[in-house]
Structure 1
Amino acid sequence: MAVYKEQSLKIYNSMTGEKEIFTPLTEGNVGMYVCGPTVYSNVHLGNCRTFISFDLVFRYLKHLGYKVRYVRNITDAGHLENDAETGEDRIAKKARLEQIEPMEVVQRYTVDFHNILEKFNNLPPSIEPTATGHIVEQIETIKTIIDKGFAYAVNGSVYFDVLKFNKDHNYGRLSGRAIEDMIANTRELAAQSDKKNPQDFALWKKAEPQHIMRWPSPWSDGFPGWHLECTVMSTKYLGEEFDIHGGGMDLKFPHHECEIAQGEAATGKNPVNYWMHANMLTLNGKKMAKSTGNNILPTEIFTGQNDVLSKAYNPSVARFFMLQAHYRSILDFSDEALAASERGFNRLMDAYRHLEDLPTSSTTSFDLQKWKQRCYDAMNDDFNSPILIATLFEAVKFINAVKEGDEKLKSADRELLQEIMRAFIFDVLGLVDTATVNEDSSQKLSGTVELLIKLRAEARNNKDFATSDQIRDQLLELGIQLKDGKEGTTFSID
């Protein structure tokens, strides 16, 4: 029996502002779309928090037994600087500055994005479509929206008619903005002269002569609007209506608001049942920004090469730190907070490792079933990872008490406790026991060096002293010193 049939999951829906019981459109199946990165620079920590939050959602849905199709896009075109309607494409600008092809920029930072999320132990999505790979579909969607009367072409560009759409729909309902207020607060800009109304947004932009990234369309050689990409890719792979759409809080307006308008205009259907938004990450109490220097990259956390932290921190510790806050709350990143998380992380992993060696008795002084359900209750309450972690630490306290002889644990219950903790620590929270990984790495290193010692001995026996010396010298350059003695060759690592 699927676990989801025994549990009642509630999700905070940004559209309604309430926690709602999660009921997928198709029983046993979940379609989830999350806005991915614009790959023009190294992925920043705030984005990582968003993707870790939705990795938690993905993992828990899978744990409950749902078949999940998780789609997360790569924006590799059409995203202009400062999320504006005019200006330079972020990727094209980077390509111009570095004097390389735009797709070289895309490749470099897509690889970086994948590498960083892999270090954080994020599961890959089911599908990872790119904007440039769906130009044809975007053009067809624009045609449909024009045919439905909700868009107009002017001077080679196509704009969505927000005021016309709003007559029978509610543009602004996700972000809680009234169209009247938007009109009152909008300043007319010279660059908006092609639009009927300042609120209208681009579905297709005619490329200026200097614009590198361009494609042919019925209206002009140009590029798609940033908002359109997500509408097209989400509905292509999840259908005109799907279960969950996620992203950072900063995308609620205008990006997600525009997605809803485009989807409803094209299909006449409300595209998403549950909207989820992850909150921002601050650094030492201030907003992260490259311009002010109040910024840190994930790799700088892992290596310790930064001016913010006193030491390097393992990716799993950084992940644990982020999961100690609810995904909808603002989280402040600091050296003190990370150090505290590292101590907690080590206590959790140490307790789990000691489960194997715990003494057992004929009784158990801990209500395992009740505790297990409280772990589920935490996650069922809008994926409340901090409450789950607090509940796991109740088990840590119990394990330490058993070790000291103050509590009792039956052998069968020890196996059950181990199974529950394994599921929630590793499968749901996605943590990695760094001590075990380091031990495995150490064993692999030892095995590799022993193999090289054997090859060196064979070379010496064959009087191939050049190869023998080369193995010794190159290992020394790597900080591994070989010592020849009567009992054979040993090694030490500096």
Structure 2
Amino acid sequence: MQLYKNQQIKVYNSLTGKKETFQPITEGYVGMYVCGPTVYSNVHLGNVRTFMSFDMVFRYLKHLGYKIRYVRNITDAGHLENDADVGEDKITKKARLEEIEPMEIVQRYTVDFHNVINTFNLLPPSIEPTATGHIIEQIELISTIIDNGFAYEVNGSVYFDVHKYNETNDYGILSKRKLEDLIHNTRALDGQSDKKNPQDFALWKKAEPTHIMRWPSPWSDGFPGWHLECTAMSTKYLGEQFDIHGGGMDLKFPHHECEIAQNQAAKGKSPVNYWMHANMLELNGARMSKSTGNYINPAELLSGKNDIMSKAYNPNVVRFFMMQSAYRSVLDLTDNGLLASEKGFNRLMNAVDDLEKLKTSNTSSFDVKAWKQKCYDAMNDDFNTPILIANLFEAVNHINAIKEGSATISKEDLEIFKSAIHTFVFDLLGLNNAKDTAEGTDKLSGAVQLLIKLRQEARANKDFALSDKIRDELAEVGITLNDSRDGTTFSTN
């Protein structure tokens, strides 16, 4: 069904800084590109939030009947430390430290990435290209940019000439930065002396003798710049201009800004009509950072093996928590927030189960079709999942009222209601009915907390034999107690 003909979507376009009516380049078809992970370490929860946000967008566009090609890349070469043009390749560095091949690192963390996003019920993209699989396309793109006068070669490396480009274009059109300000705030860095200007960025880097990942090119044996790969892969599979480009807010500058410049320099046109950016995920009100210890990865969150959360959380609860915040808002991951989301998730799933038991009447006491359109209106307003979820809890209240006999629903309206609930809860929010699992986790937590309390009382009474017995017998069934200055937590094996 071509529902999109009756549902008008407004999308917040980072390029213009306002919500705009979504009009695909070709009616009924959508091309969407999202910057994927650099596979040198376990996937970050912040990345999970970004990919989950665009999974939700993908699901909704598909539901409306668009034929959508969703491309999400894998960066397996060319991404240097600190997102810079100097330094060591992130993947190569990890391979050197572990004394294995770079492609072993790539394989390990690509598998980890897929396992994690499958756990959170993300749909696979239409195409998942890799940077190393598109070296030829990147070399051809560089050659075109050089021929058009916007890049130069020095000592085997090729750089994009930002100042030359800015004479006829606007470098900063997406991030709203001015080149004059960038010049003023740029300090000279070692290893950048080959550039005409510090603001220029690498399209191709000549490989040092110790650099493992390298390919032949007209300029040197080397490797492509990080920004270039997304331009090459997005335009190969979606065309010189396509509808949506997504990614995390942290990629807006310089990565996405450079993509626009590269495409404009090579093709003479801006590549994307709608730029969309998912905002950051914080942890307990502060930036997630391994260096400060304010960090938790997906496996730790789901297993409970951490010192930050009070318990393990079901992936559906985590997904529900993330969907309760608009994708453009900063989201603070907290234990209290997850506990509240768990209760809300279970309440929603209870209501979904109760739908099957509702008795019908000759009339309905509420307008099901109007409620259904309110849900669409929420999604049409820049994919506003918090408002959608508020509407779903309005439905929960109706379900409970019908169940208690204080409201009525007709047979026809009940079928519409069931179908709509299923669509918005499972198809669009991407949740599974894991209420039983979540409740089981909750009951386990309660039982273990009781044993922890008994153990604390035993230790206070110097009954160390009983204290050790509780700890050891829990360990035998896969539950580990973790003592710290702040108290005792548990994790499951």
Relative to the length of structure 1, the TM-score reads 0.88
Partner of 2:344: 344
Distance 1:119 1:106 in 2: 20
Deviation at 1:413, TM superposition (A): 1.4
Distance 1:433 1:99 in 2: 44
Distance 2:301 2:6 in 1: 40
Deviations, residues 172-230 of structure 1 (Å, cap 9, x unaligned): 01000011111111112231100001100000001111111111111111100000000
Partner of 1:98: 98
Are 2:16 and 1:13 aligned? no
Distance 2:331 2:121 in 1: 20
Deviation at 1:405, TM superposition (A): 1.1
Distance 1:119 1:385 in 2: 20
Larger Rg: 1
Partner of 2:312: 312
Distance 1:63 1:77 in 2: 35
Partner of 1:226: 226
* Aligned partner of residue 398 in structure 1, secondary structure: helix
Partner of 1:389: 389
* Aligned partner of residue 167 in structure 2, secondary structure: helix
Q: Would you say how many aligned residue pairs link Structure 1 and Structure 2?
A: 442
Which sits farther off after the overlay, 372-381 or 407-416? 407-416
Are 2:180 and 1:180 aligned? yes
Which sits farther off after the overlay, 112-121 or 401-410? 401-410
Deviations, residues 226-253 of structure 1 (Å, cap 9, x unaligned): 0000000000000000000000000000
* Aligned partner of residue 369 in structure 2, secondary structure: helix
Distance 2:22 2:438 in 1: 39
* Aligned partner of residue 191 in structure 1, secondary structure: coil
Letter paired with 2:321? F
Partner of 1:259: 259
Partner of 1:74: 74
Deviations, residues 416-456 of structure 1 (Å, cap 9, x unaligned): 101000000011110011147899xxxxxxxxxxxxxxxxx
Distance 1:216 1:84 in 2: 22
Distance 1:85 1:312 in 2: 40
- Asked if the contact 2:313–2:438 (Cα under 8 Å) also holds between the matched residues in 1, the reply is no
Deviations, residues 275-311 of structure 1 (Å, cap 9, x unaligned): 0000000000010011111011111111111111111
Distance 1:269 1:217, change over 3 A: same
* Aligned partner of residue 71 in structure 1, secondary structure: strand
Letter paired with 1:375? C
Distance 1:232 1:391, change over 3 A: same
Partner of 1:42: 42
* Aligned partner of residue 174 in structure 2, secondary structure: coil
Partner of 1:32: 32
Q: Map of 1:204-353 to 2, 5 A cutoff?
A: 204-353=204-353
| Alignment gaps of 5+ in structure 2 | 440-475, 479-493
Partner of 1:378: 378
Which sits farther off after the overlay, 128-137 or 189-198? 189-198
* Aligned partner of residue 356 in structure 2, secondary structure: helix
Q: Map of 1:360-375 to 2, 5 A cutoff?
A: 360-375=360-375
Deviation at 1:412, TM superposition (A): 2.0
Partner of 1:23: 23
Moved over 3 A (4+): 435-439
Partner of 1:152: 152
Partner of 2:411: 411
| Alignment gaps of 5+ in structure 1 | 440-476, 480-494
Distance 2:311 2:411 in 1: 40
Distance 1:267 1:360 in 2: 61
Distance 2:366 2:98 in 1: 61
Partner of 2:65: 65
* Aligned partner of residue 205 in structure 1, secondary structure: strand
Q: Once the two structures are aligned, what percentage of the paired residues are identical?
A: 72
Deviations, residues 358-409 of structure 1 (Å, cap 9, x unaligned): 1221111111111011000000000000000001110000101111111111
Distance 2:189 2:331 in 1: 36
Distance 1:436 1:17 in 2: 43
* Aligned partner of residue 244 in structure 2, secondary structure: strand
Are 2:116 and 1:116 aligned? yes
Q: Map of 1:410-489 to 2, 5 A cutoff?
A: 410-435=410-435
* Aligned partner of residue 27 in structure 1, secondary structure: coil
* Aligned partner of residue 12 in structure 1, secondary structure: strand
Distance 1:408 1:329 in 2: 38
* Aligned partner of residue 191 in structure 2, secondary structure: helix
Letter paired with 1:156? G
Letter paired with 1:416? I
Distance 1:49 1:374 in 2: 25
Distance 1:7 1:190 in 2: 54
Distance 1:367 1:360 in 2: 14
Deviations, residues 140-173 of structure 1 (Å, cap 9, x unaligned): 1000000000000000000000000010000001
Distance 2:435 2:171 in 1: 52
Relative to the length of structure 2, the TM-score reads 0.88
Deviation at 1:415, TM superposition (A): 1.4
Are 2:74 and 1:107 aligned? no
* Aligned partner of residue 413 in structure 1, secondary structure: helix
* Aligned partner of residue 223 in structure 2, secondary structure: strand
* Aligned partner of residue 343 in structure 2, secondary structure: helix
Distance 2:44 2:182 in 1: 31
Which sits farther off after the overlay, 20-29 or 360-369? 360-369
Letter paired with 2:315? P
Distance 1:340 1:204 in 2: 49
